[in-house]
Amino acid sequence: MYSKCGSLAQALEVFHSIKREDRKLVSYNTAIQAISMHGHGGDALKLFDEMPTCIEPDEVTYIAVLCGCNHAGLVDDGLRVFHGMRVPPNVKHYGTVVDLLGRAGRLAEAYGTIKSMPFPVDIVLWQTLLGASKTHGDLELAELAATKLAELGSNVDGDYVLLSNVYVSKAWWADVGRVRDTMRSNDVRKVPGFSYTEISGVMHKFINGDKEHPRLQEIYRALEEIMSRIGELGYEPETSNVLHDIGEEEKQYALSYHSEKLAIAFGLIATPPGETLRVIKKSAYLWGLSCSGKANI
């Protein structure tokens, strides 16, 4: 409960209050999941390695520690855990390893892992490979993953957007147009992403370019100040994935008013200094904010 509410310290306090000899598998699973969820993959791995030999890890244990390695970029450690599993890996374990390798740019190994699976590959795995291929500019694998998704009947807007973005990064505008035509013929529309944050018990939702929030003017002024300050720190918006048929200034405008940036700006003006701000992004695929959201603002 504490972990899900964002209080890792209290969650671990409860775990450490249990005598070592009284800790059960569920205690370790819950603690490893909590640590991984909060981005401390190294600590999750350490706790996993410290589990008593009399407690046998189950599939939940492995998925928890693999997720921790994934988000911390601990590729070799994650592979060690995966290949040392003492229970048969399921599709979730394979999927986490594919994501781990894909994030690290080891796309050939990610694809090899998919091919080595002893059961059918699901849509999520191909979407994971497609996302990694887009991130690292591997057109061949992106097209392969998109083809497999089409064969499986996936009609998610994000699949098309990712493939289109790979073509955009190569300036292959004819192929970008072909993807858009396919979306139209399949009646697939790009669903706008949104972000939300809770302030004083009230949930605030933002969409890209939001014009409805009652404190809109304050939010936009705060966001302009934020973008100016991180610009001074060297941040430059990544505009290569924005539609090619608009000007560079318009591309930067489109990126500046993403929903998550609006939520961050609102959180900064609506909460006292030092308070933790949590923004949840609802979108299948993200690009353009991650690096700037981590700036010291």
In a domain, 97, yes or no: no
How confident is the model at residue 74, as a pLDDT?
A: 95
Number of domains within the chain: 2
How confident is the model at residue 166, as a pLDDT?
A: 84
Could you say which of 67, 89, 111 is where a domain stops?
Answer: 89
Q: Give the domain range for residue 263.
A: 194-293
In a domain, 34, yes or no: yes
**Neighbouring residues of 151: CB distance < 8 A, sequence distance ≥ 6:** none
Query: 3-class SS at 199?
Result: strand
In a domain, 227, yes or no: yes
CA 258/CA 171 separation, integer angstroms: 23
How confident is the model at residue 211, as a pLDDT?
A: 83
How confident is the model at residue 181, as a pLDDT?
A: 85
How confident is the model at residue 84, as a pLDDT?
A: 96
How confident is the model at residue 3, as a pLDDT?
A: 54
How confident is the model at residue 164, as a pLDDT?
A: 85
Distances (CA, A) of 211 to 34, 52, 75, 277: 37, 55, 42, 22
* Mean pLDDT, 10 residues at a time, the chain of 297 residues: 58 72 84 87 92 92 95 95 96 95 96 95 93 92 92 84 82 83 80 83 86 89 88 70 44 60 91 86 46 34
Distances (CA, A) of 237 to 107, 228, 287, 291: 26, 12, 10, 9
In a domain, 270, yes or no: yes
In a domain, 132, yes or no: no
Q: What are the strands of the beta sheet with 280-282, ordered from one edge? A: 202-207, 194-199, 280-282
In a domain, 126, yes or no: no
CA 282/CA 195 separation, integer angstroms: 6
* CATH code of 54's domain: 1.25.40.10
In a domain, 122, yes or no: no
The token pair at 67 is 């997720």
Could you say which of 89, 118, 146 is where a domain stops?
Answer: 89
**Helices 91-103 & 59-72 angle (0-180, nearest 10):** 10
CB 65 within 8 A of CB 36: yes
How confident is the model at residue 5, as a pLDDT?
A: 53
The whole-model pTM stands at 0.71
